[in-house]
Amino acid sequence: MTFTTPIRDMRFILDHAAGFGALEQSGAYPELSEDLTAAILEEMGKFCDGVVAPLNETSDHNGAALENGVVRTSPGFKEAYKQYVEAGWSSLAFPEEAGGQGLPSTLAVALVDALNGACMSFAIGTTLTTGAVKAILPAATDEQKALYLEKMVSGEWTGTMNLTEPQAGSDLSAIRTKAEPVGDGRYKISGQKIFITYGDHDMTDNIVHLVLARLPDAPAGTAGISMFIVPKIHVKEDGALGERNDVQCIKLEEKMGLHGSPTCVMSYGDKGECYGTLLGEENKGLKNMFVMMNAARLDVGMQGVGVAERAYQRALAYAQDRKQGRGAGVKSGEMVAIYEHPDVRRMLYSMKALVEASRAVCYANAVAYDLARHAPDEKTRAEAKAMEELLTPISKAWSTDRANDVTSLGVQVHGGMGYVEETGAAQHMRDARIAAIYEGTNGIQAMDLVGRKLQGDGGAAAKKFIAEIKNEAKVLKAAKREELHHVGERLLAAADALHASTDWLLEKAQENPEHALAGATPYLKQFGNVAGGYYLSKAAIAAALEIHENRDPAYHETKIAMARFFADNYLTEAIGLTDAIMAGAGGVARLDPDLLSA
C-alpha cells in the first residue's frame, strides 16, 4: 500500500480539534450523524487508497501529454475519474436542489485531504470542478444552470478557471482577453490564457471553462473584468453535445512536479469562432471569482496537508525498514532501524506534528465555512464567517509552506535514496512545491491577512480568536499532567506574542501601510504556528480525557506527545518572529538592487 487515508487521525482532529461535533449538533445538517460521518470516511478511504493512490507514481513518470492537439491524461486517470463520478464524490457537499447530497463542506474538504494524499495531480482536477460549480451556482441564469450545472455537480463534466495571462498573474487588472457581444446573448471570446489546470484532458466528454475577459469599452483595471462560461463542446438546448467550440490547448508546461496535472496554455478564438455566455453581471467577474476563492484557497491548503501526509507515511515506513547504526554508545551488534535514532525521530515527529496541525487549521476553517452558511442562527453564522475569512489565508499559506517543510524532511529521512527518484520521496517534494504559489501566492495570502482580514474589521476577529486561544492555554496550564501544563505555558507565551504583533500591525498600518506589508509573511507564520499549536492543544486535552477513561491510551498518548513536540519546536518559533514583524517597513527598506548584485 503506497498510501493509507489516515481515517482515525482525520476523525480525531475533526471531533477534538476542529469542532466538527458542534456542526453535527448545530442542526445545520439534520441528516448528519456520527455514524454517517464514519461511513463516509471509510468509503473515502477505500476509494482513495485502492483506486487513486496507485496512480501517483505513474503520473510522475508518465504524465499528461499533448498529442495531436488533445491532452491525454496519465494511465489510469480516466478510469479512476469515472469511478469518482459514479460513487458520487463530486456532489457530496452541493445543495440537493443542484443535484448534490447536501452534506457539510467539511466532509468534502476531508475528501480533498485524502485525495491529495492519494495522488495530488489527480485530485486537483476534481477541486477545480467543484470550485467552478461554486462560482456558477450563485451567478448563473436558469438557462446556464440547465445547460451546465447538473453535469458539473456530478463531475460528469469538469470545470476550469481561466484567470492568468502572461502579463496578468498576481495582478489581474492587466487581463487582455476580449469578449465581444454578438447580439444573440452570446459573446465572441479571443485571447490566450496560461497556467490553466486541466484546461484539456480526456477524462470527460466536455469541459466547462470559466474565463475572465474584457468587454469592449470596459473600464480599465479590475473594474472592467467579466466572467464567461465557455464550453469546450457547445451544448444544445436539449442537453446534447453539439459542435466543438474554438478553444484549444496549444501547449503543456514542463513543470518541476505535478506531472499528472495538465497545465495548459489555452487559446480562445484562433479562428474567430469561440463563443461563450456572460456569467453574472458585466464587469463583475472578480466578484464571481471571490465567491469561490475562499473555498478554493482552503482546497489548496488541504493539498498541502494531503501531500505532506503521504510524504510522512513514506518516510515513517522507510525509517522503520532502513537499518543503519546503533544506539548511543553501542559499538557492536546488529544495526537498528533508523527510527531508533533520536535525530531521525525528530524529523518524523516534525513531519507528523506539522501535518496534524495544518490539518486541524484547515478542518477548523472548513467547519467555520459550513457554520457561516448553514448555522441556524444569524449570530453563529456571522461569527463563523469572520473566522472563515480570518483562517482562509492561514490555511492556504501556512499549510502549503509547512508542506514544503514536511516533504523536504521526507527526502532527508531517506538520505541519498531520497534524492533518487525511484523512492518517490522527491516526487512529493516536487509536487508540493506548487501549492505555495498558485491560487494566490503565499505572499498574497499574507497581505490578505494583514490587509482585508485584519484591518478590515479592526482586528476584531483576530483578537476574539486570540482570546479563545489564551483561555485554552490557561485551561492547559491548570492541568495536573506536566506535559499539558508545559504546553499551556508555551501556548500562552506564543499567544501573547501574537497579540502584541496584532496590536502593533493595527496601529502601525495606520501610519504607513508598508509596515503591514513588510511584516505580513512573518505575521502569517506566527499566526499559523499559534493556531496550529492551539488546535493540537485542544486535541491533547481531549486525548488526556480519553486516557483518563482508559480508551486506547497508547494512541492518545501520541496526541499529547505531538502537542508537546509542536509546543517546544513551533510555538517557541512563533515568539521569535515578533522582531521580524515589528522591524516594519524599515526592515525591508528599498535598497538599490544594482548594489545587491555583484
Other CB atoms within 10 A of residue 421 CB:
13
Would you state the cell numbers that stand for residue 25, as one nine-digit string?
449538533
Q: How many CB atoms lie within 10 A of CB 480?
A: 7
CB closer to a second copy, 268 vs 570: 570
CA atoms within 13 A on the CB side of 409: 29
Q: Which residues pair with 214 in a beta bridge?
A: 178
Q: How far is the CB of 83 from a second copy (least distance, A)?
A: 22
Torsion angle, alpha carbons of 540, 546, 552, 558, to 10: 10
Which CB sits closer to a second copy, 46 or 236?
46
Spatial contact of 192 and 271, defined as CB atoms under 8 Å apart: no
Nearer CB in complex with a second copy: 246/546: 546
Q: Which of 33, 83, 320, 471 binds a second copy (CB under 8 A)?
A: 320
CB of 19 to a second copy, least distance (A): 21
Residue 97 or 254 having the CB closest to a second copy: 254
439 is catalytic: yes
Residue 598: which residues within 8 A CB-CB, separation 6 or more? none
Among 348, 487, 495, 540, binds a second copy (CB under 8 A): 348
Tell me the closest approach of the beta carbon of residue 233 to a second copy, in angstroms. Answer: 28
Which three three-digit cell numbers place residue 270?
A: 484562433
Query: Which 547-576 residues touch a second copy, going by CB under 8 A?
Result: 554-555, 557-558, 561, 564-565, 568-569, 572-576
Which cell is 471 given? 483561555
Q: Does 537 bind a second copy (CB under 8 A)?
A: no
Nearer to a second copy, 374 or 525 (CB): 525
Residue 398 exposed, middle or buried by CB count within 10 Å (0-12, 13-18, 19+)? buried
Binding part of the chain for a second copy, among 104-112, 140-148, 204-212, 587-595 by CB under 8 A, reads 587-595
Applying CB under 8 A, does 590 fall inside the site for a second copy? yes
CB of residue 502 to a second copy, shortest distance in Å: 18
Query: Shortest distance, CB of residue 359 to a second copy, whole angstroms?
Result: 11
Q: Which of 208, 218, 291, 518 binds a second copy (CB under 8 A)?
A: 518
**Closest CB to a second copy among 60 and 472?**
60
Which of positions 437-496 make contact with a second copy (CB under 8 A)?
437-438, 441-443, 446-447, 490
Decide: is 511 part of the binding site for a second copy (CB under 8 A).
Answer: no
Per CB under 8 A, contacts with a second copy among 120-139 are: none
Q: Which of 87, 233, 316, 479 binds a second copy (CB under 8 A)?
A: 316
**Binding of a second copy by 16 (CB under 8 A):** no
| Opening angle at CA 187, ends 184 and 188, nearest 5 | 125
* Contact flag: residue 344 with a second copy (CB under 8 A): yes
- Pick out residues in 156-185 that bind a second copy (CB under 8 A): 164, 167, 169-171, 173-174
Q: Which residues contact 214 (CB under 8 A, 6 or more apart)?
A: 175, 176, 177, 178, 179, 224, 225, 226
Should residue 141 be labelled a site residue for a second copy when binding is judged by CB under 8 A? no
C-alpha cell at 76: 489510469
Contact stretch for a second copy (CB under 8 A) within 179-187, 203-211, 224-232, 433-441 = 433-441
Q: Which is nearer to a second copy, 352 or 453 (CB)?
A: 352
* Nearer to a second copy (CB atom), residue 52 or residue 520: 520
- Please, which residue, 165 or 370, has the CB nearer to a second copy? 165
Contact assessment for residue 553 and residue 547, using Cβ atoms and an 8 Å cutoff: yes
Please identify which of the residues 309, 388, 389, 439 carries the catalytic annotation: 439
Residue 212 in contact with a second copy, rule: CB under 8 A: no
Query: Does 513 contact a second copy by CB under 8 A?
Result: yes
**Are 439 and 505 in contact, with CB atoms under 8 Å apart?**
no
Residue 345 found at the interface with a second copy (CB under 8 A):
yes
Of the residues 65, 70, 182, 317, which one makes contact with a second copy according to CB under 8 A: 317
- Contacts with a second copy in 254-283 (CB under 8 A)? 254-257, 263
**Under the criterion CB under 8 A, does residue 505 sit at the interface with a second copy?**
no
In angstroms, the Cα distances linking 164 to 139, 167, 296, 326 are: 21, 8, 16, 53
Q: How far apart are CA 585 and CA 504, in angstroms?
A: 13
Element (H, E) at 374: helix 342-374
Neighbour-count burial of 294, counting CB atoms closer than 10 A to its CB (0-12 exposed, 13-18 middle, 19+ buried) = buried
Q: Enumerate residues 370-429 that contact a second copy by CB under 8 A.
A: 404, 408, 411-412, 415-416, 418-422, 426, 429
In 3D space, the residue among 249, 365, 203, 235 whose CA is nearest the CA of residue 299 turns out to be 365
Q: How far is the CB of 198 from a second copy (least distance, A)?
A: 15
| Contact residues for 507 (Cβ-Cβ < 8 A; gap 6+) | none
Residue 352 as a binder of a second copy (CB under 8 A): the answer is yes
From the CB of residue 154, how many other CB atoms can be counted at a distance below 10 Å? 19
Asked if 1 interacts with a second copy (CB under 8 A), we say: no
Q: Are 533 and 491 in contact (CB under 8 A)?
A: yes
Residue keyed to cell 495536573: 480
Neighbouring residues of 238: CB distance < 8 A, sequence distance ≥ 6: none
592 binds a second copy (CB under 8 A): yes
Decide: is 331 part of the binding site for a second copy (CB under 8 A).
Answer: yes
Q: Is residue 325 a contact point for a second copy (CB under 8 A)?
A: yes
Taking CB under 8 A as the rule, does residue 253 contact a second copy?
Answer: yes
Of 218, 212, 208, whose CA–CA distance to 171 is shortest? 212
Q: Residue 283: CB partners within 8 Å, gap ≥ 6? A: 215, 218, 219, 223, 224, 225, 226
Bridge partners (DSSP) listed for residue 165: 168
Count of residues interacting with a second copy (CB under 8 A): 112
Catalytic residues: 439
